[in-house]
Amino acid sequence: MSTLSAKGLRKSFGGVVAVDGADLDLHEGRINGLIGPNGSGKTTLFNIVTGMIKADSGTVRLGGTEVTGWSPHRIAHAGLGRTFQLCRVFPRLTVMENMLVSLRRPRLRDILGGLTSKADVEVAMGWLERVGLDHLAGTDARDLSYGQQKLLELAAVLMADPQLILLDEPAGGVNPALIDRIGDLVRDLNAEGRTFLIVEHNMAMVMSLCQHIIVFDRGRPIAAGPPAEIQSDPRVLEAYLGV
Residue 166 sits in the same domain as residue 237: yes
Q: What is the CATH number of the domain that holds 176?
A: 3.40.50.300
Last residue of a domain, one of 125, 144, 159: 159
Average pLDDT over residues 194-200: 95
Angle between the 146-158 and 176-191 helix axes, to the nearest 10 degrees? 10
Residue 141 sits in the same domain as residue 183: no
Last residue of a domain, one of 108, 133, 159: 159
Residue 134 sits in the same domain as residue 187: no
Residue 115 pLDDT greater than 90, yes or no: no
Q: Which of 46-50, 146-150, 215-219 has the lowest mean pLDDT?
A: 215-219
Residue 75 sits in the same domain as residue 166: yes
C-beta neighbour count of 66 within 10 angstroms:
11
Residue 119 sits in the same domain as residue 152: yes
Domain that holds residue 122: 82-159
Report the sign of the C-alpha dihedral through residues 201, 133, 196, 55, in that order: negative
Please tell me the total count of domains within the chain: 2
Give the separation between CA 4 and CA 27, rounded to whole angstroms: 7
Give 238's contacts (C-beta < 8 A, 6+ positions apart). none
pLDDT band of 129, cuts 50, 70, 90? very high
pLDDT band of 109, cuts 50, 70, 90? low
Residue 81 confidence (pLDDT): 94
Last residue of a domain, one of 115, 136, 159: 159
DSSP annotation of 183: H
Residue 116 confidence (pLDDT): 65
Residue 85 confidence (pLDDT): 86
Closest CA to 47 of 29, 22, 14: 22
Residue 111 pLDDT greater than 50, yes or no: no
Give the separation between CA 172 and CA 136, rounded to whole angstroms: 22
* DSSP for 206-223, written as a single string: HHHH-SEEEEEETTEEEE
Residue 63 sits in the same domain as residue 87: no
Residue 241 pLDDT greater than 80, yes or no: no
Q: Which of 18-27, 189-198, 234-243 has the lowest mean pLDDT?
A: 234-243
Residue 110 pLDDT greater than 60, yes or no: no
- Strands 31-35 and 212-217, by their bridges, are parallel
Residue 19 confidence (pLDDT): 94
Residue 40 sits in the same domain as residue 71: yes
Residue 65 sits in the same domain as residue 109: no
* β-strand partners of 24: 6
Residue 179 sits in the same domain as residue 220: yes
* β-strand partners of 62: 4, 65
Could you give the 3-state DSSP secondary structure of residue 28? Answer: coil
C-beta neighbour count of 189 within 10 angstroms:
18
- Burial class, 115, CB count within 10 angstroms (exposed 0-12 / middle 13-18 / buried 19+): exposed
Angle at 143 between CA 140 and CA 146, to 5 degrees: 120
Residue 129 sits in the same domain as residue 11: no
Mark out the alpha helices in the chain (DSSP H runs): 42-49, 72-77, 95-101, 108-112, 118-131, 146-158, 176-191, 203-209, 227-231, 234-239
Residue 183 confidence (pLDDT): 94
Residue 155 sits in the same domain as residue 208: no
Residue 20 sits in the same domain as residue 137: no
